[in-house]
Every structure is written in structure tokens, then in C-alpha cells.
Amino acid sequence: MTDFYNYDEFIPEKFEQWLRFDQSPALGKKIENFSLWDLDGNKTSLVDILDQSQFTVVEFGSFT
């Protein structure tokens, strides 16, 4: 599957399959808690992060 994700050119035909915004949780919907690690290897949880601010954006993947 990573062969499809690591495409060789940035054109809609190659990246649009990964845009699944319709499958994202709705704004304000409760989500499951899960563990996260920072760049120093310290473990935290999504709930701990959410408690630190009124708004939180969680990004998975990369921008090229």
C-alpha cells in the first residue's frame, strides 16, 4: 500500500484517493482516547493533549 502513497508526482489522480474527509469525526463528536509519543519519546494520551487547549488539530501523515 505504501507504493501507492509514495507517488512520484503531485497530481490529483495520485493523491485524491487519500482525501477521505467524509470519514472524519464530526466537529464536537467524542473520540476514543489513544496513546501518543512526542519527539523525545515521552508518552502522553490524546485526552491529555485535548485538556491543554480549547482547540486541537491532530495530523497524521505528511505534506510534500
Largest alpha-carbon pair distance within the chain?
39
Contact criterion met (CB below 8 Å) for 60 and 54: no
Return the pLDDT at 55: 85
| Residues 3-52: tens digit of each pLDDT | 666 778 888 888 887 788 888 778 888 778 889 888 899 999 988 888 88
> Is residue 64, in this structure, part of any structural domain at all?
no
Three-state DSSP at 35 gives strand
> Is residue 32, in this structure, part of any structural domain at all?
yes
pTM: 0.44
Strand partners, 44: 36
Structural domain of 27: 2-50
When divided into structural domains, the chain yields a total of 1
